[in-house]
Amino acid sequence: MDKINIICVDDEREVLESVSRDLAYFADMFNIEECESAFECEELLEELDAQQEYVGVIISDHVMPEKSGVELLTEVALDNRFLGTKKLLLTGLATQADTIRAINNAKLDNFLEKVWDPQELLQTVKELLTEYIVEKGLEYEDYIEKLDPPTLYRLIK
């Protein structure tokens, strides 16, 4: 079975832990990674790519020191190696200009506001992962129990 990663990026430790907790549902089949900054995330991406692992979803905060979430996700969007990786911005402090850049440049797949509803986050990631797996042509049968059925039915041809 291919290793698929879900990466969470946030400069606040508590937020990271709480996102991980909300996504514990995926833990036995997917790899959940935590990064405390955009730079850490970039390093991790290099590492994962070197090991030929898949990056299914990146969930990133926007306002972080040194490098913002939108900048990080824009880089990912332009990087050929991570074509198809789903990008979710999870933030409470994005201005309208940030949001515009996030949609136009970082090609966001989803936008959730802090404070988030754990159920909504879980469902959103489920759908994004399902899309990623089918679009990438991975063996969806292997992960079927963790995926979102309606999305699966819609995408399988």
Partner 1 sequence: MKKYLKYLLPVLVPFIILLLPASSFGIVGMTLVEQRIIAIFVMAALCWVLEPIPIYATSVLIIVLQLLLVSDKGLWFTKAASPQELGHLISHKALMGTFASPIIMLFLGGFFLAMAATKYRLDVNLARVLLKPFGRNPKFVMLGLMMITAVFSMFMSNTATTAMMLSILTPVIALFGRNDLGKVAFALSVPVAANIGGIGTPIGTPPNAVALKYLVDENNISFGEWMLFGVPFVVVMLFIAWLLLTTLFPASIKEINLNIKGRFLKTPKAITVYVTFVITILLWLMGGLHGMNSYVVALIPVAVFSMFKIITKEDLKKISWDVLWLVSGGIALGVGLDKSGLAANAIEAIPFAELHPLLLIAGASTLCLLMANFMSHTATANLLLPLVAALGASMHSLLPYGGEVMLILAVTFAASLGMSLPISTPPNALAYASGHIETRQMAKVGVVLGIVGLLITYAMLYVLNQL
Interacting residue ranges for partner 1, rule: CB under 8 A: 141, 144-145, 147, 149-150, 152-157
Minimum distance between the CB of residue 55 and partner 1, rounded to whole angstroms? 23
Q: Residue 1 or 115: which CB sits closer to partner 1?
A: 1
Least distance from C-beta 101 to partner 1, angstroms?
31
For residues 28 and 141, which CB has a smaller minimum distance to partner 1 in the complex?
Answer: 141
Q: Print burial letters for 76-114: b (CB count within 10 Å at least 16), e (below 16).
A: bbeeeebeebbbbbbbeebeeebbebbeeebebbbbbee
**In whole angstroms, how close is the CB of 93 to partner 1 at the nearest point?**
35
Q: Match 């992960």 to its residue by tokens.
A: 143
Cα distance between residue 11 and residue 30, in whole Å: 22
Output 116 or 143, the one with its CB closest to partner 1: 143
